[in-house]
Every structure is written in C-alpha cells, then in structure tokens.
Structure 1
Amino acid sequence: MNAMLRQPTSLDRLAIGLSGLCLVHCLATAVFVATLASAGGLLGSELVHEIGLGVAMILGAFSLGRGITEHGYMMPSAVGGLGLGAMGGALTLPHDGSELVATMVGVGILALGHRLNQMARD
C-alpha cells in the first residue's frame, strides 16, 4: 500500500525533471540556432515541440489528475493546466523569440504545479 502512495510522487518528480529537460532544450535550441543553423533546424523542428507537448499533457493529466483524487486539492492541477496551456499557446507564436519565452514560462508554471502536487501529498 505504501508503495502505491509513493508512485505518484515519483511521477511528479519525473514531470519536474522533464520540465527541466524542456528548459534545457529551449535554451540549447536558442544557442544552436544562433551558432549552427543545421543543428538548430533539427532541434527547432515543430515535430519535436508537438511530441514534447503531447508527452507533457499525458504525464500532467495523469499525475496532476491522480493528485486530485488522492489529496483533494484542485490548485496544483489548475496551476499545471495553466502551464500546459501556455506551452500549447506558444506553439502558435512566431519563431522570433516570443515562442521561446512563452514556452519557458509555461514549463516553469507546469513544474510549479507538479511541485504543489508533491507538497499536497506530503
């Protein structure tokens, strides 16, 4: 029983880690675009962003949604949903730096939602 209660916390940790990787990806893409156009083209591909957002949405829905059923607080899920929405909205922005900023803000908000979810369990 105790192992079942610890599993969602691990999912939140995984989600926070993935959020960090997303930030690293965004920053690395900006550096590569500035220095190596060919590498930037690969990392800046729309497909990479769409797949990353899809993974974030699935993991967020599962982890944050499960948190609601376990601890009963909606706030972590609402904060995480706001972050996912910002990330999704960033896909519609032009590639002039505004997409990068909006994505990084969304990732930070999503990570905060997962952290709040973790804190509510403890």
Structure 2
Amino acid sequence: MFPSLSRQGNVDRLAIGLSGLCLVHCVASAVLVMVLSAAGGVLLDPRIHEIGLVLAILLGVLGLGRGIREHGFMLPAAIGALGLGTMAGSLTLHHGTEEVVYSVFGVLLLALGHDLNRRAVI
C-alpha cells in the first residue's frame, strides 16, 4: 500500500492538501478572532442593550396586552412583566456573569409569558 502511494506522488498530494487545510485553518482562525474582537466592542455597547430592551417592552406590551384583551388571563402578562423587569434590572449591573445570568433569566421569563399567552385559549 505505501509503495504505491509514494510512487504516484499521492503522499505529496496528501501533504499539500494537509498544508492547505492548515493554511485555511490559520487564516480563518485569525480572521475569526479579529471579527469577534471588533464585534465584541459593538455588542457590549450599552445602547445595544437599551434598544433591545425597548423593543422587548414594545413587543411585550403589544403581545401580552392583546392576550389580556382576548382571553382575559393576567398570568402570562404578569410573568412577562417580571421578565422585562429582570432584564431592565440586569442593565444596572456591571458586565460579567451576574449580568448575563439575570439577562438570560429575564429573557426566559418573558418567553414563558409569551408562550403562555399564545397557548391561552377560551
């Protein structure tokens, strides 16, 4: 098996292919690190979080408010409002694990409120 590989230059082709994969890996890794470092500054900008919260509040008022009018159940809106409050409270924390935990918990509560609202049928 090995003599036929070396006779036909297959080992060299395999080595060239492996070198090419290495090159792609190195370049792609460097580009990915540069993109993430540049995007990290944008994604950690407080305005992104504030705009996201405003959009969540608007959609929450529209969706959960519609649910109260249509089916009359307050529980989905109450859970959603608790989620929005938790998300808003997380904006007062310093960037770090605690902020992420509170944000994720608030988002999950809000999603639960919307899901309960969607499932509520008279």
Taking structure 2 as the reference length, what is the TM-score of the superposition?
0.68
C-alpha distance in structure 2 between counterparts of 1:87 and 1:99, whole Å: 9
- Paired residues, number: 90
Q: Distance in 2 between matches of 1:62 and 1:121?
A: 17
- Per the TM alignment, residue 68 of structure 1 is displaced from its structure 2 partner at its CA by 0.4
Aligned match of 2:108: 108
Letter paired with 2:37: A
Structure with greater Cα Rg:
2
- Which residue is equivalent to 2:56? 56
**Unaligned residue ranges in structure 1 (runs of 5+):** 1-31
State, as a whole percentage, how many aligned pairs show the same letter: 53
Question: Which digits, 9 at most, give the CA deviation of each residue in 1:12-40, with x for residues without a partner?
Answer: xxxxxxxxxxxxxxxxxxxx9xx943321
Q: Look up the match of 2:121.
A: 121
Render the CA deviation track for 1:41-72: whole Å, top value 9, x for unaligned.
11111010000000000000111011001001
Output the TM-score relative to the length of structure 1. Answer: 0.68
State the match for 1:67 in structure 2: 67
Task: Quote the residue 1:77 is aligned against.
Answer: 77
- The gaps in structure 2 that reach 5 residues or longer are 1-31
Distance 1:91 1:121 in 2: 34
- Structure of higher RCO (CA pairs closer than 8 Å, 6+ residues apart): 1
Q: Which amino acid counterpart does residue 43 of structure 1 have in structure 2?
A: L
Cα root mean square deviation, aligned? 2.0
